[in-house]
Structures are given as structure tokens and as C-alpha cells.
């Protein structure tokens, strides 16, 4: 097999692994309804669409926008500091709290304006 073919296979496996990891956190069915990165940058009070949290630590991620190709999200993070920023779903999928529990999705979370989230977490 040519070197190009091996690179394509390795890249394909890497891409598949990323999609599977992301799918364990958030299904593609849900992801397709979240705005792409930068789509809400002109909105004063964008909606948070998904809430991810560590059940055994004090971290929560509220997803506003997502790039499925890059596995990257923009949203509000409540942790050591509360801030807006970008975060990787690959990295979040690997996080474990003090009891070794993985990050979970809050299935009861409803689309919520960012301003309401900020009031709630302060």
C-alpha cells in the first residue's frame, strides 16, 4: 500500500474515533440542531442548547455553538472560573471526576438564554 493510502486510513480511523467519542457525549441527532461556530456571535443573549456536567466534580459546560468537523464548542463554562470560551469535546470526553465518573449530558436541560444561566450559576 502506498504511503498516501496508509495516511488516509490512519486519518480515517482517527476521524472515526473522534466521532465515536463525541457520539458518546452528544448524539449527531442533537448536534445538527446546534448553531455552527460563529453563527450567534451577533446575538446579545444566545441560547445554551446542551448542558454537560461532571457528576463528581464542580464543572459544567453549556454549549451555544459547535463545529462538528473540529469537535469544538463555544459556550459557558462553570468551573474554577465562570467564563465564555471554546472547549474540545474530545477533551471533555476524557475527563473523569474524583470518583472516576465520566462527563454526562443533562437530558432534562431545556434551551436556555445565556443571561439566565449566568444568573443561575453566580
pTM recorded for the entire structure:
0.78
* Residue 71 near residue 28, CB atoms below 8 Å: no
Chain Cα centroid distance, residue 53: 10
pLDDT of residue 115: 97
* Residue 92 near residue 100, CB atoms below 8 Å: no
Element (H, E) at 17: helix 3-25
Residue 57 is given by DSSP the state S
pLDDT per residue over 63-78, tens digit each?
999 998 888 999 999 9
pLDDT < 70 regions, the chain:
1-24, 122
> What share of the chain in percent tops pLDDT 90?
57
Residue 6: strand, helix, or coil: helix
pLDDT of residue 32: 80
Amino acid at each position: 500500500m502506498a504511503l498516501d493510502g496508509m495516511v488516509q486510513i490512519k486519518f480515517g480511523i482517527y476521524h472515526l474515533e473522534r466521532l465515536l467519542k463525541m457520539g458518546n457525549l452528544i448524539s449527531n441527532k442533537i448536534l445538527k440542531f446546534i448553531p455552527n461556530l460563529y453563527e450567534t456571535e451577533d446575538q446579545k443573549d444566545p441560547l445554551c442548547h446542551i448542558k454537560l456536567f461532571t457528576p463528581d466534580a464542580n464543572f459544567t459546560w453549556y454549549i451555544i455553538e459547535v463545529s462538528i468537523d473540529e469537535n469544538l464548542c463555544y459556550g459557558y463554562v462553570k468551573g474554577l472560573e465562570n467564563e465564555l470560551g471554546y472547549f474540545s469535546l474530545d477533551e471533555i470526553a476524557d475527563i473523569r471526576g474524583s470518583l472516576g465518573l465520566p462527563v454526562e449530558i443533562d437530558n432534562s436541560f431545556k434551551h436556555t438564554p445565556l443571561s439566565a444561566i449566568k444568573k443561575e450559576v453566580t
